Structure 1
Amino acid sequence: MKFLSDLTTNSTPWLLLALSALGLELCALFFQYAMDLAPCIMCVYQRVAICAIILAGFIGFWGCSFLIARVIAYGLWSTGAVWGLFIALEHVEIQANAGSLFFSCDIIPNFPTWAPLHEWIPALFEATGDCGEISWQFLGYSMPQWMVVVYGAYVVAFLLILINRLISAKKL
């Protein structure tokens, strides 16, 4: 489908990607500061993955007419979506086995020494909650379960667009 393959050469879809992820980040901050739900380490890692998608969207928005910018945006989008999905799945597993010694999470984020995000921006990346605690549900699903859906949608959208883009390039 030419429509799907051409999406990434237009700035609007990239902006929608960035704004959708920014909306999720703002929801996380609402849950933390308005609803007083403490983020755990897995939540913090998922926030980083969402930040990668936000960054991908803005890079694609500003540089959609340049191949190198699109490649960087694709890389950030796919990394954020896939890594976020794996983290969310692991978080669901931790919650399902809460209390088990085999399923636990760290207390301090394991960020690289050159990027201690929890020290630089503690309001966004400091973990104060328990990974096994289910403190919020909607329609019977916990926050990590909803994030599996969200990241799954980001992965599917990425794959659809990338595959269509590659097929269109092959036809030329």
Structure 2
Amino acid sequence: MNWLTTAPRRVLALISVACVALLAFGMYLQHVVGLEPCPMCIVQRYALVAVAVFAGLASARGNKGWWMTFAALAMVSAGFGAFVAARQSWLQWYPPEVATCGRDFYGMIENYPISRSIPMIFRGSGDCTAIDWTFLGGSIANWSFVCFVGFAVVLLALVVRGLKGGQSSGSGYSMA
């Protein structure tokens, strides 16, 4: 865990780059392979964008308060993404008896108020239970969950180490 104390901003930048790479892979699966994302997949993409932006902002400045605040926001975003991915994995493992294809994410937002759209997204639809692509036995939702949990654990470790490191620059916590 020495890399957490020696270069936290580099770790945050790496998380941001990894999120962008995962988003690019999602776009590849959609536009080249032809897989259409379900509403829960879209929400996971937004969570991934939030992790990338917050981790990127955290890595941008050496001020400890700045990077710890944005690292904490990235951690919360990763936790939310893990929750959505876990819910989608659950729907894939235990599909509802009556699975109907629901509206796409944008159709729900355009036609229903947000207070009604959000529960519809998490309820899932026939699309959310389908497993169209697998890698090493796991669906996209399973791997998304693994990635979000990995990001959240690393971000939690960074924040905890930052809190234990003290406020002074002589604490051994380099901002490289």
Give the 3-state SS of the residue equivalent to 2:132 in structure 1: coil
Structure 2 partner of 1:60: 58
Which whole-Å CA distance do the structure 1 matches of 2:63 and 2:148 have between them? 26
Residues 23-102 of structure 1 correspond to what in structure 2 (within 5 A)? Answer: 23-63=21-61, 65-101=62-98
The 1-side partners of 2:98 and 2:67 are apart by: 43
Change in Cα spacing, 1:138 to 1:7, as seen in structure 2 (3 Å) is: same
RMSD: 3.0
Q: TM-score, normalised by structure 1?
A: 0.76
So what's the TM-score if we normalise by structure 2? 0.75
Report the structure, 1 or 2, having the larger helix content.
2
Alignment of 1:14-25 (within 5 A): 14-25=12-23
Residue 129 of structure 2 aligns to a residue whose secondary structure is coil
CA contact (8 A) 1:94 1:103 kept: no
Give structure 1 regions of 4+ aligned residues with deviation exceeding 4 angstroms.
101-106
Q: Is the 8 A contact 2:68 2:162 kept in 1?
A: no
Secondary structure of the corresponding residue to residue 19 of structure 1? helix
Identity of aligned residues (%): 22
Segments of 5+ residues of structure 1 without an aligned counterpart are 117-128
Cα offset, 1:106, TM superposition:
6.3
Maintained 8 Å contact 1:105/1:131:
no
Higher relative CO (CA 8 A, sep ≥ 6), structure 1 or 2? 2
Give 1:67 shift.
3.7
Q: Shift of the alpha carbon at 1:83?
A: 0.3
Q: CA deviation at 1:76?
A: 2.6
1:149 matched to 2:143:
no
Rg (Cα) greater in structure? 2
Secondary structure of the 1:90 match is helix
Counterpart of 1:4?
A: 4
Closer, same or farther in 2 for the Cα pair 1:168/1:61, shift >3 Å? closer
- Are 1:6 and 1:165, in contact at CA under 8 Å, matched by a contact in 2? no
For residues 105 and 49 of structure 1, what CA distance do their matches in structure 2 show?
21
